[in-house]
Structure 1
Amino acid sequence: MPFDPQSLRYDDQGLIPAIAQDHRTGEVLMMAWMNAQSVVRTLETGKVTYWSRSRQAFWVKGETSGHAQKLVDFRVDCDRDCLLVVVDQTGPACHTNRRSCFYTAVRDGAEVELMQPEG
């Protein structure tokens, strides 16, 4: 069955959350938003393309930083309202220069940083 990006369940702003996961380690790297056109661009180019809510523009991950995400696999969850993009990540995924955006844990009621910025 052919994939139709319009079959996804977008929110009232036309967006769907996309979780990026490293294909080698399984590590969750980040979450960002996509719209139907960024889904199409990602699938057509193999370069993961998000929708930046702050800039109201397409955001090809790594286009300016060099920390690119090459698409390895594209998955849709059972409710069709969330995406998993399995990627080959170059450099850190987080804008804080950490490998993952999920670098803060809450343990015993306190925040603990699990990783420092790279470089």
Structure 2
Amino acid sequence: MSENNRLRDVFDAIADPTRRRLIRLLAEAEEVPLHDLTARFEIGRTAVSKHLTILKEAGLVLDRKVGRETRYRLNATPLKEVQDWVGYYSDFWKKNMLRLNQLLEEEET
């Protein structure tokens, strides 16, 4: 699925803390079977699967079948959209704080 054909918005997908935790777990491993992911949560396999589906629809997770097992891995590329958005506001605040600093310094003199 290309980034332009994503079924779900990346921001929507990362809005949930469980999904953010899944992303973190997948980032720490090359590939993780569903049962290993499920063992890390106090929610059931079905709930974990639903969260993974949302991440998959956003292009953040890729899966593959190995026998009867499904293994998941992170595709971090769509997170660049989040990074770019946050980066814009980070620059915005840096510039505004610099301007505020300059104004405060001018008032002191």
| Higher Rg of the two aligned structures | 2
Higher share of residues assigned strand? 1
Q: Same fold (TM over 0.5)?
A: no
TM-score (norm 2): 0.26
TM-score (norm 1): 0.25
Higher share of residues assigned helix? 2
Q: Answer 1 or 2: higher relative contact order, Cα 8 Å, separation at least 6.
A: 2
